[in-house]
Amino acid sequence: MAEKPKVAFFDFACCEGCQLTVIDTLQDHLELVEAVEIVQFREAMSEKGEDYQIAFIEGSCTRPQDEERLKKIRERAALVVALGACAHTGGINALKNLQPSLQEVRRYVYGDCWEWYDTYPARPISAVIEVDAFIPGCPIDRGEFLRVVKDLLLGKKPSIPDYPLCVECKLKENVCIFDRGGTCLGPITRAGCGAICPTYGDGCEGCRGPIPHPNENAMKDVLAEHGLTAEQLMAKMTMFNAYYH
Amino acid sequence: MSKNISINVHHITRVEGHGDIVVDVKNGEIVKCEWHVVEAPRFFEAMLRGRPYYEASHITSRICGICATGHATASLRATERALGVEVSEQTELLRKLVFHGEIIDSHVLHVYMLVAPDFFGVGSVLPLAASHPEVVKRALRIKKLAGDLCAMVSGRHTHPIAMTVGGFTHLPTEGELKAMRERLVDARADMDETIALLSTLPWPDFERETEYVSLQKDDEYAFIDGRIVTSDGFTYDLDDYRRVTNEYCVPQSTAKWTKHNRESYMVGALARFNNNYDWLHPRAQDAAEKLGMKPLVTNPFLNTAAQAVEMVHCVEDSIRIIDELLARGIKEEPLYEFQGKGGEGVGSCDVPRGILFHNYIIDDDGLIQGANCIIPTNQNHANLQHDMEALLPQILDKPQEEIRLTLEMLVRAYDPCISCSTHLLNVRFK
């Protein structure tokens, strides 16, 4: 039998919720733990192997020193996977990019000692290094993580849905959030989470990023029908996609 | 003694976030003994400015993947107190229930997966699956129960969906509550085994009394709302939280530190245990007795044991809450609508790692104009530093590896969540 592929997990600016979701997923799928050799997962283990083929990276690039670390990981890994919204789109970290000045942001949070805290606009890791695959979402979806890992182990390019969330929401027979008086980014957001937020009564917040070719006219019709504007929708979209704003 | 020790743990493992321990001993004299927080700062308070009030709990739950529910709850309480929103008893009960789920989830992760490997002499929980399968299976069972409990109420643990200003956008069914109750009752056996396991662990022998700070209520073991109390006899309203925290910056940390009556104070399970022991469920008090714990406990390593006691409490209190919900019946309730009047509010919860504050100023358009979040791990940094300074001279005659491990264990005992506080652990022996 061929040697097990060596896998490592890394984190940059993030909440580590995606790695926790990985831990939660693995506990139900121990066969996956058997299929690979995890050489580095700081949150869960002391070992720190530097020999790995697949690198999962959670978090955004927010400092000059992050670039250096990202490039090192890229050099060592055959495959780099962006794990979750922060790595994939910049995620919630990019909200700070919308503030008028980052110097003011640093002063606001750290007062007199603001200069000690280095930062620049948050970016997805693909802005710094080449990324082979991504697992979207805040946090990632457990089922999708399993599918992507299995695809990678089989040498296939992982397939991530490029149709809108509404498809999954309809299949779940949810009452449309717009019809319930809410605002939802489902019509333009990438599916794959099982429309979990609308299922629990909340409008989609776009954490999985926009689909490649959104049907803008249909979206405008929905907005017009419910007395909403494109500006309102775009303001909501900035929660997880401010990097592209 | 003329001993040279150089320890430099860069990015300590099995903690949430990035931190370093730096120790430098020359000719038996301690030149340096420092706890560094090196997490990339994320600037959440600034991110909130200009966002609508109803996004705040969803944005701030992203501060931390482990205590996402705690941040969401503190955030909602701050918003509700700013806008004068009253919540129903059903909402209060459901919030307490999902909060217990998070306490169990976080504590079981810490006790079994982050701390236990140190006592078994391994680097992670993975080798334990082969050597002690029953221990790992039990941990996974408890973890799954806690995650499912959170998901039942709020959609998922990381990050909660259904919790919103004034209530919930989705409610569990009575069938789901009943099934969960059964699983909680079954979990008592796992709780007993957890306490039995912890009672056999050789906790490092170290005492240093400090000031213990937590929430407190008159009628229950406080996790959400209440007043701020300290073991030095101080009591404050939530609105006066800054009189306790007194934040200051230190160059070795990307997180702000705090102090109150002494040079440092401690928050978290041990602080709650010390301040609120009387309100623990009798089964939890029994568990504490089996662990030989009664206030005032001053060994910080026992924070982990206090977490186990709290797990017992939360399992029992969750059963009680479900019984109350079932007796009342689950009802759809109208959601809050903004009234065009802003305000300022402080929300506080005692989350897994200790007391947490969110403070928002919301304008009459419903937009957040100012925000301040004070995270438990940050409140512990100074205390951890002082513990380290007190502990190191007591263990200087040990081999360097043992010193390193003991210091790492001390840091882990605090269960630091550095991504919150912004990240934590590496021991750098220089």
pLDDT in tens, A96-112: 999 888 888 888 888 77
ipTM score for this prediction: 0.94
pLDDT digits (tens, 9 = 90+) for B130-174: 899 899 899 999 999 999 999 999 999 999 999 999 999 999 999
Tell whether B8 is within 8 A of chain A (Cβ).
no
Average pLDDT, chain B: 92
Higher-confidence residue: B152 or B251? B152
pLDDT digits (tens, 9 = 90+) for B304-359: 999 999 999 999 999 999 999 999 999 999 999 999 999 999 999 999 999 999 99
Tell whether B140 is within 8 A of chain A (Cβ).
yes
Tell whether A19 is within 8 A of chain B (Cβ).
yes
Is the pLDDT at B421 greater than 70? The verdict is no
DSSP string, B221-233: --SBSSEEEETTS
Report d(CA A44, CA A38) in Å as an integer: 11
CA A149 to chain centre: 16
A152-156: long-range contacts, CB 8 A cutoff, minimum separation 24: A152/A54, A152/A79, A152/A81, A153/A5, A153/A35, A153/A36
Q: What is the widest separation between alpha-carbon atoms in chain A? A: 62
Which domains are seen in chain B, by residue range?
9-429 (1.10.645.10)
Enumerate the domain spans of chain A: 6-153, 165-244
Report d(CA A138, CA A146) in Å as an integer: 16
| Region at A66 (left for phi over 0; alpha for psi -120 to 50; beta for the rest) | alpha
Report d(CA A113, CA B254) in Å as an integer: 10
Q: Which of residues 63-82 of A touch B (CB under 8 A)?
A: 63, 66
Q: Which chain A residues contact residue B15 at CB under 8 A? A: 43
pLDDT digits (tens, 9 = 90+) for B45-96: 899 999 999 999 999 999 999 999 999 999 999 999 999 999 999 999 999 9
Report d(CA B351, CA B74) in Å as an integer: 9
Average pLDDT over residues A206-218: 94
At B50 the pLDDT is: 94
Report d(CA B331, CA B328) in Å as an integer: 9
DSSP B110: I
By CA distance, what is A235's nearest residue in B? B51
Of A20, A38, A105, which is closest to B46 when you measure between CB atoms? A105
Report d(CA B358, CA A207) in Å as an integer: 24
pLDDT digits (tens, 9 = 90+) for A189-200: 999 999 999 999
Is the pLDDT at B424 greater than 50? The verdict is no
Taking CA atoms, B277 is separated from A18, A41, B194, B296, B384, in Å, by 35, 36, 19, 10, 23
Query: A6-153 is classed in which CATH architecture?
Result: 3-Layer(aba) Sandwich (3.40)
Higher-confidence residue: A141 or B405? A141
Average pLDDT, chain A: 92
- Closest Cα in chain B, distance from residue A239 (Å): 8
Is the pLDDT at B3 greater than 90? The verdict is no
Average pLDDT over residues B34-48: 82
Task: For an interface test with B, give the residue of A42, A48, A118, A184 to mutate (most B CBs within 10 A).
Answer: A42
Of A42, A66, A202, which is closest to B13 when you measure between CB atoms? A42
Is the pLDDT at B41 greater than 90? The verdict is no
Is the pLDDT at B426 greater than 50? The verdict is no
At B418 the pLDDT is: 53
| Region at A192 (left for phi over 0; alpha for psi -120 to 50; beta for the rest) | left
Q: Which of residues 102-121 of B touch A (CB under 8 A)?
A: 109, 113-114, 117
Tell whether A14 is within 8 A of chain B (Cβ).
yes
CB-based contact B40 A63, cutoff 8 Å: yes
State both tokens at B205: 């022998």
* Residue B16 pLDDT grade (very low, low, confident, very high; cuts 50, 70, 90): low
User: Which residue type, as a one-letter code, is found at position A106?
Assistant: R
By CA distance, what is A37's nearest residue in B? B126
- How many of the other CB atoms lie within 10 Å of CB of A1? 3
At B430 the pLDDT is: 43
At B248 the pLDDT is: 86
At B114 the pLDDT is: 85
Number of A/B CB contacts below 8 angstroms equals 158
DSSP A95: G
At B419 the pLDDT is: 44
Strand partners, B25: B5, B30
Sign of the torsion formed by the C-alpha atoms of B266, B272, B277 and B278: positive
pLDDT digits (tens, 9 = 90+) for A35-76: 999 888 876 777 777 889 999 999 999 999 999 999 999 999
Q: Which of residues 88-117 of A touch B (CB under 8 A)?
A: 91-93, 95-96, 98-99, 104-106, 108-113, 116-117
State both tokens at A241: 């996609």
Q: Which chain B residues contact residue A33 at CB under 8 A? A: 126
CB-based contact A19 B65, cutoff 8 Å: yes
